[in-house]
Structure 1
């Protein structure tokens, strides 16, 4: 039996008028001959004692398996994982959740090396909870960036964030992304830099973002020239390797001195996980797959649909 210090009949009449008859509280007050504050108290009490019950139904996760299969077939890669909704509006939370799932399945162990790139998306997911424990795993950056003011391009910060979340061991690059010729020569003999380049050769996993087309970029590391003619045809980049629509690398002044693993080293990494969200990245994702620089794509529904639509338009 519902117990209350208030009149149960009055509670029922107020609740029925408000929730079933869809009257406003002022109209309920007029019908019952009480004040509006009293109606508010009656409705609160009706909910408290269980006379009124609400049920919020879980809409459930959308079935994206068909979308994943179609996109995987189009791109010719090993795996595609798709988060629901527009992840650019959700601070990439869904991408982070899926990355955690993928890393957990990889079962990284003591001494394994995970590389992570700079960029807005990787920086965002590096701060998220839900990542697996990676005790004994070494996390290292793929690019320099010590001089960058934007934290998204401070790859050491991204490394530290992810290490803090997973319990892994961080390693850092103490160099800008584009050193001067003299500093570049010095780095080749620097023990701390040689340690990083050795980790690049032993990496088991890469986590990287996919940059959007050069002409549309609203954020870009300071070492990449903004008005370079050669880069105008670049539709994206991975780990500061810019590529055209055919997946061919686009070079520019200073790119031979960039602190980053070579394309050959990146292709040799067994599991390369690319994160990308935003319909403007549709051409970047398609061309990025042609480079052979990632084996797994984590994206969202709108971006996946944009990639497939673009492919359909060109067919």
Structure 2
């Protein structure tokens, strides 16, 4: 929570202009209609309350392009990009920067569809300043989550944040992640729900997170049971599609009703950008590639090393 006696919106405007847009303090003062000393006070206050944060990055301990090439070869995916350092400790800022670069390279045009999933990583990067502007691009959610209390699993909120940052056109899905049989049947005939599923079918790209192994997992959407023996072999999931270490699907009673794109559709998408950081996710990343659920991986240095070590140990 940002606690201050100053106007939060004024603080944000001053900080964004100076630190994000690179505007000099004199011009910031002219924009805001305040004095230059006031701008200095606004910037100092923004830093004090944590609205503006600085970090000093450690130099990478490995040759990142070489590490990425080796990991790409092991995973058999189209592309791997690696941010330096531990990105979990850095709130995924380096991964957010890499995502911005990937989206710029796609050159998405007005009317094209970009899908985005829920999860800790996608929520974290959805509001980052490194994302490109995507005017006219349609952003749509891949999973239900209207009932979730954790914002990381509220897909509509993630879509809204992402669209606000990129100036894209958001589309929302008003459905829980795991509806009843009766609601499931109703959704199939609902025009607003069918609009979303039609967007799934014509999407050009999707941005996803990679879930940790089921056993001992801390962050998990509320609709997935915590003590389901059928899920014990699951080493990860993407868009609520759980899989074992070989990449084979893992299902459980009721999973056929989950609101998510079919696995075959995800496999067929031209570009699937997966983001994951944390050494515990090494088997999730390795098996997710075997499942064919992503084409591009954005990760960090320690996670990449962990995946390579696991692949060498397991053959």
Measured against the shorter chain, the TM-score band is 0.7 to 0.9
User: Would you identify which runs of 4 or more consecutive aligned residues in structure 1 move more than 6 Å?
Assistant: none
Structure 2 matches for 1:71-90, cutoff 5 A?
71-90=71-90
Give the CA deviation at 1:312: 1.8
What corresponds to 1:155 in structure 2? 155
Change (3 A) 1:232 1:60: closer
TM-score normalised to structure 1 length = 0.80
Give the CA deviation at 1:154: 0.2
Structure 2 matches for 1:15-164, cutoff 5 A?
63-164=63-164
Residue 185 of structure 1 aligns to a residue whose secondary structure is helix
Number of aligned residue pairs: 260
In structure 1, C-alpha distance between the alignment counterparts of 2:90 and 2:233, rounded to whole Å: 30
In structure 2, C-alpha distance between the alignment counterparts of 1:111 and 1:61, rounded to whole Å: 42
Residue 89 of structure 1 aligns to a residue whose secondary structure is coil
Q: Over residues 124-169 of structure 1, what are the superposed CA-to-partner deviations in whole Å (9 max), with x where a residue is unaligned?
A: 0001111111001000000000000000000000000000010000
Give the CA deviation at 1:61: 9.7
What corresponds to 2:306 in structure 1? 306
Give the CA deviation at 1:234: 0.2
TM-score normalised to structure 2 length = 0.80
Q: Structure 1 residue 286 and structure 2 residue 286: aligned? A: yes
Give the CA deviation at 1:311: 1.5
Residue 136 of structure 1 aligns to a residue whose secondary structure is coil
Q: Over residues 61-82 of structure 1, what are the superposed CA-to-partner deviations in whole Å (9 max), with x where a residue is unaligned?
A: 9641100000000000000000
In structure 2, C-alpha distance between the alignment counterparts of 1:140 and 1:58, rounded to whole Å: 36
Larger Rg: 1
Contact 2:140/2:170, CA 8 A, preserved across alignment: yes
RMSD: 1.6
In structure 2, C-alpha distance between the alignment counterparts of 1:139 and 1:148, rounded to whole Å: 20
Residue 242 of structure 1 aligns to a residue whose secondary structure is strand
Unaligned stretches of 5+ residues in structure 2 = 1-55
